[in-house]
Amino acid sequence: MKLLEPGAELDGFLIGECIHSGGMAHIYQVHYADGRPGPGFPMAMKIPRMTAGDGAENIVSFEVESQIMQVLTGNHVPRFVAVGDLSRVPWLVMEYVHGRTLQHWLDAEMRPSVGEIIHLGVAMAHAVHALHQQNTVHLDLKPANVLIRDDGSAVLLDFGLSCHAHYPDLLAEQLRKAVGSPIWIAPEQVVGVRGDPRSDIFAIGVMLYQLCTGELPFGEPQTAGGLRQRLWMDPTPPRKLKPELPPWLQEVVLRCLEPEAAQRYPSGAHLAFDLANPDQIHVTERGNKVTGTRFRVHFKRWLKAAGMHYQPSPIASQQIDEVPIVMVAVPHNDVTDATLYSLRQAVARSLGTRPGARLACVTVISSSQTSASEEHKSESTVHRRYLTSLRQWAQPLDAPGRQMSFHVLEAGDVAQAILDYARGNNVSVIVMGAATHGLKTQRFIATVPIKVAMDAPCTIILVKQSVPFEMLGGTALEVGGYSDSDADAGT
């Protein structure tokens, strides 16, 4: 379809400026033609290209996007307005989101700082996690399809190649080739496996590599053979190209780019967690290497890839459920060994046998504990003392492959600090002690556990002491516990 002129009318919409003219569609700013108020936000209309030289994937992908956009919600996708009749003139009207695409940072003369890379990576990971929670995998993430709002949040664009677990995969049914953008496509997509949420993690890894180095990890392959190389090849280590990059950042980027999906981050939440907590990252050989992978290793991978049978992709929401981030709020004021023991047992049950689950051990201290009462000690010393206590408490939970991190938060409102941490890190389960003192007054005064339970964004497990003190041989934290008076004091 040829470009529409500003001022033209189409199915009740007044066409404005063409804001994008791509290989698969044109996008216009639009308003209601009858002058009625809009939906409360600016609108854009997407019309697929349908000239004689355009491929069938244009209209198929447009149909996919029209279907998926109607069921997606949240801050990380444009809001749906209306869709046209495919038998006449196909069009899709959605929210026009203001911001800059990730391409802006890649085109900038100066490379983004490590801090900027962290913020961009966290924003992308949160957006992808929100998408996967709705059983949708994007499968075409690239700089042009990631928009960064002024507030720093990311909005994902263009769902024409996406896959929703509850809808037919039209692209897989009608096209018999790898579907995606060659630079950012994941290895499993190359062999026709669609719908794995970890494919989007791979694409984020490619973009992080670009932000870190200014280079493409796998070049710009033009052939099927060139695409297949990522099934066994590692990119040049970022620190070989940019020695000033910290090893932990290389660890994150290269983990995203692992050829096998099972070796990558299991969810966007886990990726965002590491980027937001670099001091908690365990740096392996992957993060320290500055030389390329040896030929023998690549040859072994090539042999493995040649005979590999790829399994059907996990449903995105189920994949997330299998790798939860479990947060335990460990008290530090007036606590018994029995309570700490019961908390540890509850955490162990919550983690179960899930190898990809992550445990975040958190304690909240009040500001006064790092000021007047600790005048003879520095703030770092106070935090270090509580971190040591957390590690001692969690030691029995340590297991091969288990990821654990430890966090001392400083806040005046303990319940709010726990809730903010849970929301900011996409926590799946909160485990904390139940208040057992002053049960009568709990009807009138909300304790920390009650406040958290009322507003928790996820499952919450409240734990009561279940083992007599005499039967315990463990060592308690120096302090800990919840009571009626704890609502605005340290946990």
| CATH number of residue 288's parent domain | 1.10.510.10
Evaluate whether 404 touches 387 at the Cβ level (below 8 Å): no
Q: Is residue 3 part of a domain?
A: no
88 and 108 in a single domain? The answer is no
- Residue 198 CA to residue 262 CA, distance in Å, equals 8
264 and 206 in a single domain? The answer is yes
314 and 381 in a single domain? The answer is no
166 and 281 in a single domain? The answer is yes
Q: Nearest 5 degrees, angle CA 108-CA 110-CA 114?
A: 110
Residue 487 pLDDT: 40
Return the CATH number at 379: 3.40.50.620
336 and 376 in a single domain? The answer is yes
**Contacts of 266 by beta carbon, 8 Å cutoff, 6+ apart:** 198, 319, 322, 323, 356
51 and 183 in a single domain? The answer is no
Q: Is residue 288 part of a domain?
A: yes
Q: Is residue 184 part of a domain?
A: yes
373: which DSSP letter?
G
Q: Is residue 1 part of a domain?
A: no
Q: Is residue 4 part of a domain?
A: no
**Contacts of 61 by beta carbon, 8 Å cutoff, 6+ apart:** 24, 48, 160, 161, 171
Please state whether beta strands 25-32 and 43-48 pair in parallel, antiparallel, or not at all (unpaired): antiparallel
Q: Is residue 362 part of a domain?
A: yes
Place of tokens 């700082």: 113
- Residue 160 CA to residue 68 CA, distance in Å, equals 9
The neighbouring-strand residues paired with 31 are 14
Q: Is residue 266 part of a domain?
A: yes
Cβ neighbour number for residue 296 with a 10 Å cutoff: 8
35 and 143 in a single domain? The answer is no
Evaluate whether 202 touches 176 at the Cβ level (below 8 Å): no
Evaluate whether 92 touches 84 at the Cβ level (below 8 Å): yes
Evaluate whether 425 touches 325 at the Cβ level (below 8 Å): yes
179 and 245 in a single domain? The answer is yes
Evaluate whether 391 touches 406 at the Cβ level (below 8 Å): yes
Strand order in the sheet with 9-10: 9-10, 13-21, 25-32, 43-48, 92-95, 80-83
Place of tokens 């400026």: 17
440: which DSSP letter?
G
Global pTM reads 0.88
Q: How far is residue 65 from each of residues 22, 85, 148, 164, 348, measured CA to CA in Å?
A: 16, 14, 21, 10, 42
Token readout for 136 is: 């949708």
392 and 483 in a single domain? The answer is yes
- Residue 473 CA to residue 462 CA, distance in Å, equals 23
Q: What's the structural domain count of the chain?
A: 3
Q: How far is residue 30 from each of residues 61, 66, 210, measured CA to CA in Å?
A: 22, 17, 34
* Domain span including residue 85: 9-95
- Residue 326 CA to residue 402 CA, distance in Å, equals 12
165 and 245 in a single domain? The answer is yes
Domain boundary among 319, 339, 355: 319
Strand order in the sheet with 429-433: 403-410, 358-365, 325-329, 429-433, 459-463
Q: How far is residue 405 from each of residues 281, 286, 308, 436, measured CA to CA in Å?
A: 8, 20, 34, 28
Q: Is residue 194 part of a domain?
A: yes
Closest CA to 95 of 24, 27, 10: 27
Domain boundary among 95, 121, 136: 95
Beta-sheet strands, E only, within 142-301: 146-148, 154-156, 163-164
Residue 337, helix vs strand vs coil: helix
Return the CATH number at 72: 3.30.200.20
Closest CA to 29 of 10, 14, 49: 14
169 and 260 in a single domain? The answer is yes
- Residue 491 CA to residue 389 CA, distance in Å, equals 14
47 and 160 in a single domain? The answer is no
Domain boundary among 66, 95, 124: 95
Residue 485 pLDDT: 41
Closest CA to 383 of 409, 415, 405: 409
Residue 56 pLDDT: 65
198 CB-contact burial (10 Å; exposed 0-12 / middle 13-18 / buried 19+): buried
Q: How does pLDDT run along the chain (491 residues), one tens digit per residue?
A: 578 889 999 999 999 999 988 777 899 999 999 888 889 999 999 998 876 555 567 788 889 999 999 999 999 999 999 999 877 789 999 999 999 999 999 998 888 999 999 999 999 999 999 999 999 999 999 999 999 999 999 999 999 999 999 988 877 766 556 677 899 999 999 888 888 999 999 999 999 999 999 999 999 988 888 888 898 888 999 999 999 999 999 999 999 999 999 999 999 999 999 999 999 999 999 999 998 888 888 888 888 777 666 777 778 988 888 999 999 999 887 778 888 899 999 999 988 878 889 999 999 987 665 554 444 456 578 888 899 999 999 999 988 878 999 999 998 899 999 999 999 999 999 999 876 544 444 444 568 888 999 999 999 999 987 655 455 454 444 433 444 344 444 45
Give the pLDDT confidence of 360-389 residue by residue, as tens digits: 999 998 766 555 444 445 657 888 889 999
